[in-house]
Amino acid sequence: VRLLPDRPLGDGVIVLRPWRVEDAAWYAATAAGDGEIQRWTSEPADLDASAVAGAIERMHASGAHAGLAIADAATGALLGNAGLSRDAGDPLLGHVSYWLADHARGGGVATRAVRLLAGWAWQCGMRRVELYTHPDNVASQRVAERAGFRRDRIARRVVRGQPWDAVFYAVDCPTSIRCPSGSRM
């Protein structure tokens, strides 16, 4: 049931580890203060550290959502945010989301993070992972494609009050790693 990993997920270049309450000020300042994150994600413009800290505490208590800091594997420096949640109606379906701080963009970090998240989803018993982007968010669509997702459909989403013709990407669990018992479900 818990999606929050007990140990960091890593690939030698980055690690994904659960957000901690002491990261809340960094998260709030980055998410609310960056024009690209405000343009392309659902992060509220008035996000503050106490709201983030509360969300992190609730996440640790329930474990039902994996809200993970993307950090440099060598230094631990914070680079961005990566999230995995289970679909409310379909336990085999996961949803991922991500953003990077401005200084961390352009180096393939988001692609690494999305690959790690998908691998974690398979370990958690999911069979398909989806993400969606604004139709004009070309960088994010490239990330999805480089991480092995395929363009699936266009569907209306309302993000912070704005209607989007959101572009959905999907990837299926490779048959080679499917576990018949769906171990962590």
Ligand X SMILES: CC(C)(COP(=O)(O)OP(=O)(O)OC[C@H]1O[C@@H](n2cnc3c(N)ncnc32)[C@H](O)[C@@H]1OP(=O)(O)O)[C@@H](O)C(=O)NCCC(=O)NCCS
* Inter-residue contact 3 to 124 (CB < 8 Å): yes
Measured between alpha carbons, how far is residue 59 from residues 24, 43, 50, 111, 129 in Å?
13, 17, 14, 24, 20
Return the residue of 33, 54, 76, 106 that touches ligand X, per CB under 6 A: 106
Segment contacting ligand X by CB under 6 A, of 2-10, 13-21, 22-30, 132-140: 132-140
Identify the residue among 19, 99, 164, 169 touching ligand X (CB under 6 A): 99
d(CA 26, CA 13): 21
Pick out residues in 137-166 that bind ligand X (CB under 6 A). 137-140, 142-143, 146
User: Which part of the chain contacts ligand X (CB under 6 A), choosing from 7-15, 44-52, 87-95, 97-105?
Assistant: 97-105
Q: Site residues for ligand X, window 5-44 (CB under 6 A)?
A: 36-37, 40-41
Q: Which of 88, 170, 90, 119 is nearest to 5 (CA)?
A: 119
Pairing of strands 128-133, 93-100: parallel
Footprint on this chain of ligand X (rule: CB under 6 A): 36-37, 40-41, 98-100, 105-111, 133, 137-140, 142-143, 146
